[in-house]
Amino acid sequence: MEKMKYFCELFEALPRCGPGENEATRRAFSALDSLPEQPFILDIGCGPGVQTIALAKVSNGQIVALDNHQPFLDKLMKKAREGGLADRIIPKNISMLDMDFDEHTFDIIWSEGALYLMGFQKGLRRCRPLLKDHGYLAVTEVVYLVPDPPAPVIAYWQKEYPDIKDVRTRIRLIYDEGYRLLSHFTLSESAWLDSFYLPMEKELSRLEEKYEGNKTALGVFENLLSEIAFYKEYSDYFGYEFFVMQKAE
């Protein structure tokens, strides 16, 4: 639990909790059509809510922002109030594993970099009954970008996320689970570096100085620096894919 304290201190200081960028959020949203004037949206694992704010602006909808870490929700609602969007966002502190919404509730379910915590297939199955007929699901999921990634990449992801698959395999699963794929695209390198890892490097430098001599804290920070270095070396072989789909009949 002590390690988690330092992990949380870092991530609470970051603009995002994972790769992403507003341009990608807007691009994914543009693939949706025949929406109501004010769609009802669920953002699963919203974190500090950069994409939640972007969704509120582009959708004119009402958004339930779900996360189980209250400081992230507090940060989101502060930004929402500053942007005049607080009346459009409903924060809900609950784990995605404990969602208790009624079936056929949402026009759109959104999840950037979070649904993997449930497992991609389980996430698709859990979200489908919560969507209204012909509702939309948009998620980012880490994938292999090539059919034969090198051994160090396979070894890394077998440890970090054994369920990782390539894009084609994920698309087959989307159809198998009762969705129609509308669009998919790979997040840019900027979404990883400029939006996530470079701000993390800056905060890690600050925190390493703050916790000099604290072996537990420095171990946490060293692991994250190794993660950044791994991405920089092997980013040709894996990335985040944005999948935009619609609930099929």
Q: What is the pLDDT of residues 127-145, one digit of tens each?
A: 999 999 999 999 999 999 9
Q: Under a CB-based contact definition with an 8 Å cutoff, are residues 185 and 239 in contact?
A: no
User: Which pLDDT score, from 0 to 100, does residue 93 have?
Assistant: 98
CATH code for the domain of 62: 3.40.50.150
- For residues 213-240, b (16+ Cβ closer than 10 Å) or e, as one string? eeeebbebbeebbeebeebeeeeebbbb
The answer to the question of residue 177 being in a domain is yes
**Residue 152 and residue 14: Cα distance in Å, rounded?**
28
The answer to the question of residue 13 being in a domain is no
Which residues, given as ranges, of the chain have pLDDT below 50?
none
**Residue 119 and residue 115: Cα distance in Å, rounded?**
7
40 strand-pairing partners: 62
User: Which pLDDT score, from 0 to 100, does residue 249 have?
Assistant: 82
The answer to the question of residue 26 being in a domain is yes
Condensed to tens digits (0 to 9), the pLDDT of residues 42-65 reads 999 999 999 999 999 999 999 999
62 strand-pairing partners: 40
Spell out the residues 6+ positions from residue 123 whose beta carbon is closer than 8 angstroms to its own: 96, 111, 115, 116, 139
Q: List the domain range (segments joined by +) for residue 56.
A: 19-187+236-247
The answer to the question of residue 205 being in a domain is no
The answer to the question of residue 141 being in a domain is yes
**Residue 196 and residue 33: Cα distance in Å, rounded?**
30
Domains identified in the chain, total number:
1
181 strand-pairing partners: 245
User: Which pLDDT score, from 0 to 100, does residue 137 have?
Assistant: 98
The answer to the question of residue 219 being in a domain is no
Spell out the residues 6+ positions from residue 30 whose beta carbon is closer than 8 angstroms to its own: none
The answer to the question of residue 81 being in a domain is yes
What's the pTM value of the predicted model, to 2 decimals?
A: 0.96
Start-to-end CA span in the chain (Å) = 45
Phi first, then psi, for residue 66 (nearest 5°) are: -105, 125
The answer to the question of residue 222 being in a domain is no
User: Which pLDDT score, from 0 to 100, does residue 28 have?
Assistant: 98
* CA Rg value for the chain: 18
